[in-house]
Amino acid sequence: MSRFSEPQHPVFQRLNASVDFDWRLAPYDLAQSRAHAAMLAACGVITEAERDELHRGLEEVGTELDEGRFDFLPDDEDVHMAVERRVTELVGAVGGKLHTARSRNDQVATDMALFVRAHGARTHDALWGAMRALVELAERHLDWPMPGYTHLQRAQPVYLSHHLLAYFWMLERDAVRFARVVDAADRLPLGAGALAGVNFATDRQMVARELGFGAVAENSIDAVSNRDFVLDYLSAAATCATHLSRLGAEIVLFSSEEFGFCRVADAWASGSSIMPQKSNPDAAELLRAKAPRVAGHLVALHGVLHGLPLTYNKDLQEDKEHLFDAVDTLDLCLAAAQGMLETISFDQERLAAAASDEFLAATDVADLLVRRGIPFREAHGVVAGLVRRALDRGVTLSELSRDELAAESPALDEEFYEVLVGGRWLESKVSEGGTALERVREQLDRARKALGEE
Amino acid sequence: MSRFSEPQHPVFQRLNASVDFDWRLAPYDLAQSRAHAAMLAACGVITEAERDELHRGLEEVGTELDEGRFDFLPDDEDVHMAVERRVTELVGAVGGKLHTARSRNDQVATDMALFVRAHGARTHDALWGAMRALVELAERHLDWPMPGYTHLQRAQPVYLSHHLLAYFWMLERDAVRFARVVDAADRLPLGAGALAGVNFATDRQMVARELGFGAVAENSIDAVSNRDFVLDYLSAAATCATHLSRLGAEIVLFSSEEFGFCRVADAWASGSSIMPQKSNPDAAELLRAKAPRVAGHLVALHGVLHGLPLTYNKDLQEDKEHLFDAVDTLDLCLAAAQGMLETISFDQERLAAAASDEFLAATDVADLLVRRGIPFREAHGVVAGLVRRALDRGVTLSELSRDELAAESPALDEEFYEVLVGGRWLESKVSEGGTALERVREQLDRARKALGEE
Amino acid sequence: MSRFSEPQHPVFQRLNASVDFDWRLAPYDLAQSRAHAAMLAACGVITEAERDELHRGLEEVGTELDEGRFDFLPDDEDVHMAVERRVTELVGAVGGKLHTARSRNDQVATDMALFVRAHGARTHDALWGAMRALVELAERHLDWPMPGYTHLQRAQPVYLSHHLLAYFWMLERDAVRFARVVDAADRLPLGAGALAGVNFATDRQMVARELGFGAVAENSIDAVSNRDFVLDYLSAAATCATHLSRLGAEIVLFSSEEFGFCRVADAWASGSSIMPQKSNPDAAELLRAKAPRVAGHLVALHGVLHGLPLTYNKDLQEDKEHLFDAVDTLDLCLAAAQGMLETISFDQERLAAAASDEFLAATDVADLLVRRGIPFREAHGVVAGLVRRALDRGVTLSELSRDELAAESPALDEEFYEVLVGGRWLESKVSEGGTALERVREQLDRARKALGEE
Amino acid sequence: MSRFSEPQHPVFQRLNASVDFDWRLAPYDLAQSRAHAAMLAACGVITEAERDELHRGLEEVGTELDEGRFDFLPDDEDVHMAVERRVTELVGAVGGKLHTARSRNDQVATDMALFVRAHGARTHDALWGAMRALVELAERHLDWPMPGYTHLQRAQPVYLSHHLLAYFWMLERDAVRFARVVDAADRLPLGAGALAGVNFATDRQMVARELGFGAVAENSIDAVSNRDFVLDYLSAAATCATHLSRLGAEIVLFSSEEFGFCRVADAWASGSSIMPQKSNPDAAELLRAKAPRVAGHLVALHGVLHGLPLTYNKDLQEDKEHLFDAVDTLDLCLAAAQGMLETISFDQERLAAAASDEFLAATDVADLLVRRGIPFREAHGVVAGLVRRALDRGVTLSELSRDELAAESPALDEEFYEVLVGGRWLESKVSEGGTALERVREQLDRARKALGEE
């Protein structure tokens, strides 16, 4: 019997009910209920026979869910109520004992923590897949020169492998972040009750062990108020999605006729409803487009928590859809990134042609002067003069005459022309982490090691 | 026949397909297709018989949709393809003529504009409902004194009607904003083709008239790139949701035992899973919690459009879910706000007791001194001294003795005590828009006029 | 004398004081104080002689501010206090009468409304400048063909003028939005007092007229709580900045060696600290980069207002820096956009070469078949087959033989080759708003009209 | 000599120059330049004498900066240029050698990493201060009962110490997050050059050791593109600011006359410009109001990075102001939180009175029935009936008669009345992390341990 004299308004029910989305928590709700019942029995709050009945009911609900036979009813406000209602139908009045020494407040916080732990680990694995695809792609294109850009202007040539591995290290940092998300959800909320703890000497450590938590939440008020681990997942997801947006945007760019560097496989491209010649890199565009969605979820949850009084407020129900959509979006994006990378093809000639632009060696010419004792800042000025001359005359740097060189600096001699011979500019970048082939090979070793050992 | 040699990868299909959410555009897609076919016939691009066949097919699709008989198939990438596919099944090859002189790019922009117009108008109407509820509530509590707060400290008393009407004017501004959203979606994109216009001398004005647009988009590139009207809806929605969050937060606050000013009807409240005595204002909490969600959608769409090259990019598909969820969220919030306001009850005694705090008359005492020629800044200091004395002695202002008054200022005489007689402090706020009853009545007249005439 | 027994903590002062940024409100604060004093005298609350003294003080403060002689003191918490303090120094105790019938709550709301009105109008004018630059640039490049893109793939050719005018219409919508921002700040808050109105029968209409407001705020509580007009400015600014980010991103793209379509003038470009050959389109990159900053301000202010109780809370102080930075950012971006557009140069040959790609005529070939009675969807398939053949053989469409055409469709005859003669594809886009030259000329007329008449 | 023929436009200079804000990087720029010069000499790229000259110049610049004598000139585009310019003035042409084997791209990334490391550590320390204040405050109010709330409705009583410690654990998680931020900035970018590495066999490990980095960035492209560590700082800061917003909001709430639970010290409160009686908790309001600002910076930087091509783009300049303002905001908020907590006073009587509401024992009554074998769900219903009776009759629970109890359940006997004796409800929450005094003492031990040992 409720203390309310009126039924809920249908509009309120639509606003209030969460079962349309929180059904996804069902497996976690079952796992925690199983552990909770086991603990209640171990502590003597319920009998072993009652525990067995509850376990039987929970198992049957699990089977119904797995087999798609579980019916959510109109009056099931949320997944917790639906599960308890069904358990009670299956095992009778003892089902009403499941909620002993537990509140929906600590229950939902525990479900969310379990969900974040499971999905943090899954996202971590999905990153592994994309990272492997990058390493393999880099190995297949180890010594293909391409222009490196700054400000989207050709700057210095690099190997395609080196460029691809830049994304590897971004995703590697993401993987570290998701490992920490799993840690962040490692304190068990269950046992906090509504907010103050419960009236029974329960054994939270036992539940924690059973459910794989490393510790119990130290403060019952914090335990039911805390959604930091959801923020942590969303933040890691937003950074990862931003990385993928850069990858997607570069694939779109490199797929343009003007760049012509790569081509997304047909299995990852779309045609046009009106222009039969088009092959559009839709998957890459969507990688780009999804990042703001995830960042939007992050900022929204910060908004929900902003200024919120402690313990449970209904506002906390707004953590779920943001998290669930971020999880689904990131899963899909990572799978798409991996699939696209596994099948993308590059155009060696177009890349090489773009990389052979002599202006890309300007820094190298300046460094030649530096080796002759000219301060870099001055050498930079000399080469700027050469570039200006070449542009004015419409020639390449190597087409400048000895006299023109001399007019800019007496230190410019024959070696100037040697510096401009193709390929040198890449192999001269010998500093650690640089694009010289030897350095890229070291980097690939480190990448493989990161994948193999983490 | 497609120009692609490979089928789409299933992950790509999941990422790329929009039919799971853009089915909501179906009524708009049908309306535009009907108008488009009529125009094609009028311009001689198709025959009248072909038009009639197309209209027949579209009508049948509409019926199937209305009756829940329309089957979306796995290969229906989006609602546009689904509708065209079904029309062609129903009327044969002539269905393939529907896409003449049209691209999905201008088609989807037109569907979105129609959706925004329709829902901008609906939201406007929903605001009307909530505004009416506020006016009626204000009328029912016209002369109930309550404390007004600044910094959540009691500041000066006001009438409850006056406080409630503050929300009226917020929503009235929202209504103006949504009227402008409808205007913002008033230029027809259709006819822009993929991006450059179409190869037929079509009559866009005719389509515009048919669909109720005020004008045609002036530039075909802009027409397919533009989603300003979606930003406009989201921005208006975010502001409205922020207003409702303030209303929700105040209801939560006023429902606390400590304030005890109001009580949400049982039909809009929830119990606790563990604490039988609780009546929680969940609906009000959710009004508060939903605003960041809408603002999140707004900032996400800004992110999607950020730096996007012109004309259609697949990224634009990310306009839909943000808009649809914002529309649904705001509809539900406005309905809930209206319902809660229609049934909320206030506690006259608690309000009056809180409003009778004599410190709330401090400004009035200062203004008494001002009328006697003392500069306000000085008068303010005198009253601060009185307040300090009263607090130190633990008495009310009117319990201060004549000697104590004199110690602070010779200008304080018997009238001091008169100012402190209850009720005067409200009725003295006679400036336009102030809380004096006569002013509130004027305000109610203006509110009713705004509702009746807009 | 304050009622406080302790001085403020220095950390609190740093957190609390706003004078470091709200000094920008000084001109508006002076204007409102002048109007307020005039009204107080007209209503008999102060004498005419007092008003003249106050006006003299305010004028002197204005002069000091204009001449950079005004000293803000450490104890000036905000601009309002600083001005009143200085006025009192200049005219004596009568300065203390300035705050009669006014509170900082309605005072700051009024300053902010004045600021938004002034800057809404200024931004509107700055948009005019950029729009004029676009029209002139379009006129200078009226008939220069370039490729139009969808999904960043070449799709159909357009005239450069047409492409540029797409930005014109975006900014035109922005201008409408800023005109509405000015309207949104058109109700005078002053006279609302702290929250409840004031104890004097003031004449708010007189102040409104004096300060150029169209009306007075209807409800004193709403008047001091309302920051909608700031949200409106920020929302209009975010949309405008997003438009500019698209312009900036396209200039960056078109400036790449691969596209080679345009070149930012040296006055708007940067060199490299290390690569002497570089000319980087930094201004365009910054146009792109500034949009999220403005959107960040918008979402932050929504956050500040989220769930905030009515009337003035100190949180409202957080409206200022967000607004001020958005104003400055947008001003700078609009000036930079205009300056860059006035001096940018395009490469006619590169554009034309890219536009002559025959695949861009694929839709036109399909429409040729449509004119012969083949449903568009079927025609689309035929042309897809032609494209596939051409790509497989590495030839252009016009290099396909009559036999190859016949193999795809009997309806393909000599006219096929005529369609592929350069230029036709642009001029065939004759629909209203399309890229045919006649249509672009009409569009330029409309644009000039919009500029001239608004 | 530059390769540019025109000077920069003044508007472009304003848009482009960063020295107005990046001067804050000066100490980090000097440290890295010192380490860089030492390494260049160790590798034989410059002589030891040149190194000494450079070190002398850098030291002098450091002194000038410390003493406020350093003049930034109008042409100093950024802090890097300003420092190099001044060093060259001080030591002559050898100053031009400082930029050998370095680009502004890796230089600025290194400065930012150093800044993040330094400020991540500082923020961590500031958290320590606030955490200590919380522990001390909790110790001083160990056994003061107060109501705990859910949905802002009184739910179950807790000790004030327990409530305060909830904030301790939030900040403790924040401290962990900032420790990880420091880790995230632990890979040295310097040596990546413009993007590809440098033309000299430099010793990046030496520089890393010198500057305290744990490792060198593995990939030169990633090194100059990467701003993850800034996102990490902003994300940690946003979460911390959100925590502080909850603290601030509760202090505001508890300071209201209606709650009357606490009072902010005068040193942290403000008066009113018009209402002399007011003492406003401005510092607490500003804690609440600042969180959206930090979240706004986070979402803005995600926006800047969204879809950005690799290596350095000028857009990355937009990382600085977001970071700097977040750092300053959080520093100020943490100092204010600590200061406010150190001086806040609570009202034991008001807290106790609110906590003695008998309805707060409803769960305990239900659990009494549970102990007698009644399933919790059923017990919950019984107590709901009791609550309803008490509310209907306007009595407390303990005023219900034995007959009334019997009417709800035969299991309700004398012990019912014992449960309702004050204080029991707190001490019965004996589960780990609960509010029973023994549990709070354990918690305080853990908190002290966390502070002492971390």
Query: Is A394 exposed, middle or buried, given 0-12, 13-18 or 19+ CB atoms closer than 10 A?
Result: exposed
Q: Which residues of D touch C282 (CB under 8 A)?
A: 12, 16, 314
A280 bridge partner residues: A270
Distance from CA of C429 to the nearest CA of A (A): 14
Question: Does the CB of B3 have a partner CB in chain C at under 8 Å?
Answer: yes
Express each pLDDT in B188-243 by its tens digit.
999 999 999 999 999 999 999 999 999 999 999 999 999 999 999 999 999 999 99
Please name the chains neighbouring D, where neighbouring means 3+ C-beta pairs under 8 angstroms. Answer: A, B, C
DSSP state of A279: -
Phi/psi of residue A436, each to 5°? -55, 145
Give the Cα separation of B236 and B247 in Å (integer).
17
Cβ distance D292 to A306 under 8 Å?
A: yes
Express each pLDDT in C346-366 by its tens digit.
999 999 999 988 888 888 888
- Name the pairing type of β-strands C145-150 and B345-346: unpaired
Which residue out of C36, C119, C161, C272 is catalytically annotated? C272
Cβ distance C256 to A260 under 8 Å?
A: no
Query: Is A61 exposed, middle or buried, given 0-12, 13-18 or 19+ CB atoms closer than 10 A?
Result: buried
Contacts of C328 (CB under 8 A, 6+ apart): none
Start-to-end CA distance of chain C, whole Å, equals: 55
Please name the chains neighbouring A, where neighbouring means 3+ C-beta pairs under 8 angstroms. Answer: B, C, D
Least confident segment among B258-272, D180-194, D249-263: B258-272
Within 10 Å of residue C20's Cβ, how many Cβ atoms? 11
Question: Does the CB of B124 have a partner CB in chain A at under 8 Å?
Answer: no
C101: left (phi over 0), alpha (psi -120 to 50) or beta: left
Is B434 or D6 the better-scoring residue by pLDDT? B434
Q: What is the pLDDT of residue B454?
A: 44
Give percent above pLDDT 90 in chain B: 76
C310 half-sphere exposure, CB direction, 13 A CA radius: 33
Assess whether pLDDT exceeds 60 at residue D109. yes
The verdict on whether A55 is a catalytic residue reads: no
- Partner residue facing B267 (CB), from A7, A104, A296: A7
Least confident segment among B39-48, B79-88, C269-278, D115-124: C269-278
Summary mean pLDDT of chain D: 93
Give the Cα separation of C40 and C36 in Å (integer).
6
How does residue B265 score in pLDDT terms, banded at 50, 70 and 90?
very high
Q: Which of B259, B277, B376, B392 to mutate: most D Cβ within 10 Å?
A: B277
Contact A280 B314 (CB under 8 A): yes
How does residue B136 score in pLDDT terms, banded at 50, 70 and 90?
very high
Q: What is the pLDDT of residue B277?
A: 67
Rounded (to 5) percent helix, strand, coil in chain D: 65, 5, 30
Q: Which residues of B touch C318 (CB under 8 A)?
A: none
Question: Does the CB of D42 have a partner CB in chain A at under 8 Å?
Answer: no
Assess whether pLDDT exceeds 70 at residue C174. yes
Question: Does the CB of D103 have a partner CB in chain C at under 8 Å?
Answer: yes
Assess whether pLDDT exceeds 80 at residue D187. yes
Q: What is the reported pTM?
A: 0.96
Nearest to B436 by CA among B158, B169, B150: B158
Distance from CA of C275 to the nearest CA of A (A): 5
Contact C222 B165 (CB under 8 A): yes
Tell me what ipTM this predicted complex has. 0.95
Give percent above pLDDT 90 in chain D: 76
Contact C295 D295 (CB under 8 A): no
Query: Which residue in chain A has the smallest CA separation from B15?
Result: A332
Please name the chains neighbouring B, where neighbouring means 3+ C-beta pairs under 8 angstroms. Answer: A, C, D
- Partner residue facing A307 (CB), from C253, C307, C363: C307
Cβ distance D249 to D216 under 8 Å?
A: no
**H/E stretch holding C81:** helix C79-91
Q: What is the pLDDT of residue B363?
A: 84
Contact D277 B302 (CB under 8 A): no
Summary mean pLDDT of chain C: 93
Start-to-end CA distance of chain B, whole Å, equals: 55
**H/E stretch holding D28:** helix D26-42
Contact A103 B274 (CB under 8 A): yes
Cβ distance A182 to A241 under 8 Å?
A: no
Q: Which residues of C touch A380 (CB under 8 A)?
A: 273-274, 276
Q: Which residues of D touch B259 (CB under 8 A)?
A: 258
Q: What is the pLDDT of residue C5?
A: 66
Q: Which D positions 299-338 lie with beta carbon below 8 A of chain A? A: 299, 302-303, 305-314
How does residue D277 score in pLDDT terms, banded at 50, 70 and 90?
low
Express each pLDDT in B278-331 by its tens digit.
789 999 999 999 999 999 999 999 999 999 999 999 999 999 999 999 999 999
Q: What is the pLDDT of residue C193?
A: 94
Contacts of D272 (CB under 8 A, 6+ apart): B150, B155, C103, C104, C194, D278, D280
Which residue out of A151, A273, A306, A345 is catalytically annotated? A151
Express each pLDDT in C292-319 by its tens digit.
999 999 999 999 999 999 999 999 999 9
Give the Cα separation of A383 and A370 in Å (integer).
11
- Is D345 strand, coil or helix? strand
- Partner residue facing D359 (CB), from B277, B362, B384: B277
Nearest to C431 by CA among A38, B204, B443: B204
Contact A199 D363 (CB under 8 A): yes
Question: Does the CB of C238 have a partner CB in chain A at under 8 Å?
Answer: no
Distance from CA of C280 to the nearest CA of A (A): 6
Cβ distance B285 to A315 under 8 Å?
A: yes
Q: What is the pLDDT along chain A (454 residues), one digit of tens a residue?
A: 455 667 888 888 889 889 899 999 999 999 999 999 999 999 999 999 999 999 999 999 999 999 999 999 988 989 999 999 999 999 999 999 999 999 999 999 999 999 999 999 999 999 999 999 999 999 999 999 999 999 999 999 999 999 999 999 999 999 999 999 999 999 999 999 999 999 999 999 999 999 999 999 999 999 999 999 999 999 999 999 999 999 999 999 999 999 999 999 989 998 776 666 678 999 999 999 999 999 999 999 999 999 999 999 999 999 999 999 999 999 999 999 999 999 999 999 999 999 988 888 888 888 889 888 888 888 888 988 888 888 888 898 989 999 999 988 888 888 889 888 867 778 889 999 999 999 999 999 999 999 985 4
Give the Cα separation of A359 and A419 in Å (integer).
12
Contact B362 D276 (CB under 8 A): yes
Query: Hey, CA dihedral for D201, D206, D212, D215, is it positive or negative?
Result: positive
Question: Does the CB of D423 have a partner CB in chain B at under 8 Å?
Answer: no
Q: What is the pLDDT of residue C1?
A: 39
Q: What is the pLDDT of residue B1?
A: 40
Is B140 or D16 the better-scoring residue by pLDDT? B140
Least confident segment among B415-429, C137-151, D335-349, D399-413: B415-429
Distance from CA of A143 to the nearest CA of D (A): 14
Query: Which residue in chain C has the smallest CA separation from B4?
Result: C388
Express each pLDDT in B145-159 by its tens digit.
999 999 999 999 999
Assess whether pLDDT exceeds 80 at residue D278. no
Q: What is the pLDDT of residue D454?
A: 44
Q: What is the CA radius of gyration of chain A?
A: 30
DSSP state of C274: S
Contact D150 A249 (CB under 8 A): no
Summary mean pLDDT of chain B: 93
Over residues B354-373, the mean pLDDT reads 88
- Partner residue facing A242 (CB), from D288, D305, D367: D305
Q: Which residues of A touch B5 (CB under 8 A)?
A: 266
Q: What is the pLDDT of residue B362?
A: 85
The angle at the Cα of A44, spanning A42 to A50, to the nearest 5 degrees, equals: 85
Assess whether pLDDT exceeds 60 at residue D84. yes
Active site residues of B: 151, 272
Question: Does the CB of B280 have a partner CB in chain D at under 8 Å?
Answer: yes
